Amino acid sequence: MTQPDGGQSPYDPPQQPQQPDQGQPGAAPGEPAPYQQTPYPQAPQGPVYAQGGQPGAYGAGPLPKNSLGVWSLVLGILSVLGCGLLTGIAAIITGSKSRRAQREGLADNGGMGLAGLIMGWIGTVLITLGWAAYLVFIGFLVNSPEFQDDIEQELEQQYQQELDQGLEQGIDPSLDPELQDALDQLEQLENG
């Protein structure tokens, strides 16, 4: 298709000048030579992996160990949010493996692995400190004299209730060996 001013449209294929028949195979006398396509270089077959932490070629598939960085980041976030000690340890392990895969050229998201590794350590330390503080608090609470006095009073009240119920039912506490042992223990606690 030509334009009105005699030029050729940019969308039309270029016109080949008519050449005389030079004995091209498949060309009839008086016809132009068949279109000869120049071969394009073939792209390498199979997956293309980046080496040395360099990004892969255009159109290359995802690197085989990129999921380690993603898992490390997710587990690290969960560990910082307090979802458990196991998520922190798993974030540390997957983050370390992600960083190693980046150094080997099998992954390109080592930053995610590093973030997950750091958050995994932070979450693990926070959870460990939280449990330690909880156990120390319980230890102080159990060993405090006020707590022990409250327990003794509660045991005395329970014993008195059981003794009163036994007397109402006509049971002599001196005949029950378990009750006598409980009385002896209570006297020992009161004396000292």
Instruction: Dump pLDDT digits (tens) for 101-112.
Output: 999 888 888 889
| pLDDT bucket at 178, cuts 50 / 70 / 90 | confident
The residue ranking higher by pLDDT, 176 or 54, is: 176
* Per-residue pLDDT reduced to its tens digit, 115-163: 999 999 999 999 999 999 999 998 888 888 888 888 888 988 888 888 7
Question: Distance between CA 107 and CA 158 in Å, rounded?
Answer: 67
| pLDDT bucket at 1, cuts 50 / 70 / 90 | low
Handedness of CA 164, 168, 174, 177 (dihedral sign): negative
Based on the number of CB atoms within 10 Å of its own CB, is 63 exposed (0-12), middle (13-18) or buried (19 or more)? buried
At 19 the pLDDT is: 56
Q: Read off the pTM.
A: 0.48
Look at phi and psi of residue 65 and say left if phi exceeds 0, alpha if psi is from -120 to 50, else beta.
Answer: alpha
Question: Distance between CA 118 and CA 17 in Å, rounded?
Answer: 69
At 7 the pLDDT is: 64
- Ordered by start, the domain boundaries in the chain are 67-130, 144-191
At 123 the pLDDT is: 94
